[in-house]
Amino acid sequence: MASQPLWAQAENGGSANDPANPPEKVTVNNIFVVGNEKTRRNIILREMDIQTELTYDWEEFVEMLLADQKKIYNLQLFTTVTLTPLFVGDEQVELLVSLKERWYILPSLIFNLADRNFSEWWINQGRDFSRVNYGIKLDHNNVGGRNEKLRVIGQLGFTQAIDLNYSIPYLDKNQLHGLAAKFNYFTNKNIPIKSVDNKQFFYKNQEEDVLRRTFNAFLTYSFRGSFYNFHYLTLGIHNTRIHEDVLIENPNYFTHDSERLKYFQATYRYRHDNRDNVAYATQGTLLDLSLSQYGLFSGDDIRETEFSLLASKYTRLGGKFHFATGISGSAFFSPRQPYTLVRGIGYKPDFIRGYEINVIEGQQTIVHKNSLRYELLNIAFDISDFMPIEEFSVIPFKLYLSANFDQGYVRDANRIPENAGLTNQYLSGYGLGLDLIGIYDAVFRFEYSVNNTGTGNFFINVKAPL
What's residue 442's pLDDT?
85
Radius of gyration (C-alpha) of the chain in whole angstroms: 25
**Among residues 186, 220, 192, which one has the least CA distance to residue 204?**
192
**Among residues 21, 31, 26, which one has the least CA distance to residue 89?**
26
User: Looking at per-residue confidence, does 66 or 381 come out higher?
Assistant: 66
pLDDT single digits (tens) 312-365? 999 999 889 999 999 999 999 998 999 999 999 999 889 999 999 999 999 999
pLDDT single digits (tens) 90-129? 889 999 999 999 888 888 888 888 888 888 888 889 889 8
**Among residues 114, 111, 105, 168, which one has the least CA distance to residue 138?**
105
What's residue 7's pLDDT?
36
The dihedrals phi and psi of 363, each to the nearest 5 degrees, come to -90, -30
The model's confidence at residue 179, banded by pLDDT at 50, 70 and 90, is very high
Beta strands in 383-426 (DSSP E): 394-411
- Taking CA atoms, 205 is separated from 149, 188, 210, 244, in Å, by 39, 12, 9, 10
pLDDT single digits (tens) 423-440? 999 999 999 999 999 887
Q: Please state, in angstroms and rounded to a whole number, the distance separating the CA atoms of residues 301 and 233.
A: 22
User: Looking at per-residue confidence, does 6 or 416 come out higher?
Assistant: 416
User: Looking at per-residue confidence, does 441 or 73 come out higher?
Assistant: 73
Cα 139 → chain centroid: 16
What's residue 89's pLDDT?
85
What's residue 1's pLDDT?
47
User: What number is the average pLDDT over the span 225-238?
Assistant: 96
The model's confidence at residue 399, banded by pLDDT at 50, 70 and 90, is very high
- Taking CA atoms, 343 is separated from 211, 261, 397, in Å, by 21, 17, 35
8 Å CB contact between 52 and 28: yes
8 Å CB contact between 43 and 75: yes
Domain residue ranges of the chain, discontinuous segments joined by +: 8-101, 105-366
pLDDT single digits (tens) 150-177? 999 999 999 999 999 999 999 998 999 9
2 pLDDT higher than 80: no
Per the DSSP assignment, residues forming a β-bridge with 9 are 87
User: How much is the pTM?
Assistant: 0.87
Instruction: List the end-to-end C-alpha distance of the chain, in Å, as a whole number.
Output: 20
What's residue 20's pLDDT?
62
Neighbours of 277 (CB within 10 A): 20
461 pLDDT higher than 90: no
8 Å CB contact between 374 and 400: yes
8 Å CB contact between 350 and 358: no
The model's confidence at residue 375, banded by pLDDT at 50, 70 and 90, is very high
The pLDDT mean for the chain works out to 90
219 pLDDT higher than 50: yes
Q: Give the architecture-level CATH label for domain 8-101.
A: Roll (3.10)
pLDDT single digits (tens) 9-52? 333 333 334 556 778 899 999 999 999 999 999 999 999 999 99
CATH number, span 105-366: 2.40.160.50
